[in-house]
Structure 1
Amino acid sequence: MQSTPTTHFPNPFPAPEQIAVNGVTLEVFQTPQSGTHTPIVLCHGWPEHAYAWRHQIPALAAAGYHVIVPNQRGYGNSDCPKDVTAYDIAVLTGDLAALLDHFGYADAVFVGHDWGANVVWSMAQLHPQRVRKLIALALPYQPRTPMPWIEFMEQIFGPENYFVHFNRQPGVADTVLDENTEAFLRNLFRKDLPATPPAPGMMMMNLATAPAPLGQPVMSEADLAVLANAFRQTGFTSSINWYRNLDRNWHLLADVDPVIHQPALMIYGAQDMIPPAENLQELVPNVTEVSLNCGHWIQQELPAETTKAILDWLGE
């Protein structure tokens, strides 16, 4: 156990607990546990926080689920190891497996958005017996590329792609985001964005220094403050280190079954820059695909519709 700063949430939200798992301490939010509850683990993306699931938690709990929402390592009041390799996919999925052990569960439903979706897809590969069902938002399953991820992306998208930039120029973007935390988050978490061609340069650094946001805000100022306060505390390096393990993950997954066998729900945002996956059913044969009329921040842009899609699928 460790002492942590108190976070004041503007909406009803579970109180945080500090839980030691897999060599780190994670900040975990949960709803009351009972013998009849099925566990459902909600995994946030980048640059987010467990608070991203604030709209879904009450409805899932009311439906009978024991809702477990960690701030994953590198975020919020969870530990932020210095070593870059402390954020590879084996470690991240190991945290979730250890979290199930802590609560005494053999398996759970796992839900992930953005980077959290990537962790959940990998959880189904590396710990298949721990995943009863999985739900991914925004990021469809990514089949392994012919060459390591960053080399592959650099060839296709160039050196200014933010995945590539994070890896090839370590520390550069981290500093810009740390110096412009609130502006970056305000400019990033937008919806109903106008159709504009991509600007030259590195997208995330451009957002951090943009004079004004585009589109409409995804969250209130009070909700944005929760996110900004969390990143002012941690900085961005620990969360960006997830990206700096993509090539390491490519090697770690080399001999793993590429087929996702568990029942899966894939929720897309029709306005998201991430396109729907072609032929997803070839590698995820038990998948149901749903598209909602929103951008990337699906569960925050259309909270009621997202919750309904999740509960309807789980109830089938």
Structure 2
Amino acid sequence: MLDSIVFPKPTLVSVSGVELEVFEAGQQNAGNPIVLCHGWPEHAFSWRYQVPALVAAGYHVIIPNQRGYGNSSRPSEVADYDIEHLAGDLTALLDHYGYDDAIFVGHDWGALVVWGLALLHPERVDKVINLSVPYLERGPKPWVEFMEDMLGGDFYIVHFNRQPGVADAVFEEHTFQFLRNMYRKNVPPSAHEPGMALINLAKSEIPRGDPLMSDSDLAVFVSAFETSGFTAGLNWYRNFDRNWHLLAGANPVIQQPTLMIYGDRDIVPKSKRLEEFVPNVDVVNLDCGHWIQQERPEETNEAILNWLEEQSAY
């Protein structure tokens, strides 16, 4: 059944001075919105397995390709991808559909955007469901500076910031190979290699582990990035320190009911202090890697729908 899913056709929606390519399903469930926010290097299509289950459960499903992705606008200025712009796109999307608030679901960078949205515009967020990337604590030092001190200049986020354009060019030169190598599961642990890990991955002719998706599904992602390139998506990373400053005045505690879904084999570390900043959180752990909703679609759907049903009982 999961292999025969038909993904909705997109429409272009004008928000905040840009156009977003939005995939929408379950319009008959108007009044019960759930917004799904993809990560990097991803696409709205990464939520394909969740759409039928959420529509069947009575939700109006809204999935934007966020700015910089797919056929959405790709502004040229790096600062146009900061958390105020990304969160502003989502609030403007709610305005477009006439909603005061919605349930927001994020994976990877999409999770960081949803965390930021809940901090900047808490009144627009009914519930939070995030996958893979936990709440990022705002410490005393800007994030890239902190990562550089802790993890060095070859750490991918530091590299994206300190050597702009370098990774972009490598990924664009090897788009198919990079995405094929990135979208894997059951990847065995490997020894640390010198250099920047994602550049090494893009240049590797032999993928490790097992394919995450079919060739036809992979082609959707490859085609999208062949059109958009990678710079706009990487510009999200180039705003980490700007976001650190922009969030300085926000109340750091997220009060909304929250579900955090981790993959036990994900390389993204779990938060040890999540409940300090997200006191109303429930945590689910699945036996998978980073691409949680694509690797374990049925378990992900079950976790989300069971949690939402529990919440509605209160």
TM-score under structure 1 length normalisation: 0.96
Letter matched to residue 156 of structure 1: M
Of 226, 247, 270, which aligns to 1:232? 226
Provide the residue aligned with 1:136 in structure 2: 130
* Structure 1: gaps (5+ residues): 1-8
Shift of 1:215: 0.3
C-alpha separation in 2, matches of 1:279 and 1:151: 21
C-alpha separation in 1, matches of 2:161 and 2:95: 33
Secondary structure of the corresponding residue to residue 34 of structure 1: helix
Shift of 1:10: 7.9
How many equivalent pairs are there?
308
Of 57, 62, 65, which aligns to 2:59? 65
* Deviations 1:174-199, CA, capped at 9 Å, x for gaps: 00000000000000111101111221
Contact 2:26 2:59 in 1 (8 A): no
C-alpha separation in 1, matches of 2:5 and 2:303: 23
Greater than 2 Å deviation, 4+ residue runs? 34-37
Provide the residue aligned with 1:5 in structure 2: none
Say yes or no: does 1:16 pair with 2:10.
yes
Say yes or no: does 1:249 pair with 2:250.
no
C-alpha separation in 1, matches of 2:221 and 2:180: 10
Shift of 1:279: 2.3
Provide the residue aligned with 2:154 in structure 1: 160
Contact 1:88 1:245 in 2 (8 A): yes
Provide the residue aligned with 2:120 in structure 1: 126
Provide the residue aligned with 1:43 in structure 2: 37
What pairs up with 1:104-119 in 2 under 5 angstroms? 104-119=98-113
- Cα gap change, 1:299/1:104 in structure 2, threshold over 3 Å: closer, same or farther? same
Provide the residue aligned with 1:3 in structure 2: none
Percent of matched pairs sharing the same residue: 60
What pairs up with 1:1-316 in 2 under 5 angstroms? 11-34=5-28, 37-316=31-310
- Cα gap change, 1:303/1:276 in structure 2, threshold over 3 Å: closer, same or farther? same
* Deviations 1:86-112, CA, capped at 9 Å, x for gaps: 000000000000000000000000000
Letter matched to residue 306 of structure 2: D
Provide the residue aligned with 1:4 in structure 2: none
Secondary structure of the corresponding residue to residue 40 of structure 1: strand
Letter matched to residue 132 of structure 1: D
Secondary structure of the corresponding residue to residue 212 of structure 1: coil
Shift of 1:42: 0.1
Secondary structure of the corresponding residue to residue 206 of structure 2: coil
C-alpha separation in 1, matches of 2:87 and 2:6: 28
Contact 1:10 1:223 in 2 (8 A): no
Contact 1:10 1:222 in 2 (8 A): no
Taking only aligned residues, the RMSD between alpha carbons, in angstroms, comes to: 1.1
TM-score under structure 2 length normalisation: 0.96
Contact 1:22 1:95 in 2 (8 A): yes
* Deviations 1:203-253, CA, capped at 9 Å, x for gaps: 110110012000001111000000000000010000000000001000000
C-alpha separation in 2, matches of 1:200 and 1:137: 29
